[in-house]
Amino acid sequence: MEIYGIGIDIVETERIEDSIEKYGDRFLDRVFTRAEQEYCRRMKFASRHYAARFAAKEAIAKAFGTGIGADLSWNDMEILRDKVGKPYVVMSGDGAAFAGKVGISEIMISLTHSDNHAAANAIAICK
């Protein structure tokens, strides 16, 4: 096992709230998958959960070394939770193709959020 890259990101929850208020579904559909939106909408403080997923996607882009663009789009990364609540990543589209091309076989993530901030770490692993 070899680490391909690591990433970290922090985002102000208010920034995500403002984007949702200003752009609504256009912002949500551009950045979050349907499953992510369904999960966040069920939460009492949805913007905190959206912010954590936004930070996770930024952290993954940093771990890949690509940023968000040609090799990796927002919806190529889906942040889900297993039955005990542990977050995990499902890759698709160009992001999955890039991961396969460079040998990334696993992405480990950790999320956290408070009233004002959300943060995430990501580790891209090659096996």
Query: Is 83 in the active site?
Result: no
> What's the pLDDT band for 127 if we cut at 50, 70, 90?
confident
What is the overall mean pLDDT for the chain?
A: 97
Q: How far apart are CA 89 and CA 52, in angstroms?
A: 13
Which one of the listed residues 44, 62, 86, 117 is annotated catalytic?
A: 62
CATH of the structural domain 2-126, one choice from 3.30.70.60, 1.20.120.80, 3.90.470.20, 3.40.309.10: 3.90.470.20
Active site residue 57: no
How much of the chain is helix, strand and coil, in % rounded to 5? 45, 30, 20
Residue-wise pLDDT for 23-70, tens only, equals 999 999 999 999 999 999 999 999 999 999 999 999 999 999 999 998
Counted residue by residue, the chain has a size of: 127
pLDDT at 21: 96
* Residue tagged active-site, from 49, 83, 113, 127: 113
Q: For the chain, what are the domain ranges?
A: 2-126
Q: What is the pTM of this model?
A: 0.96
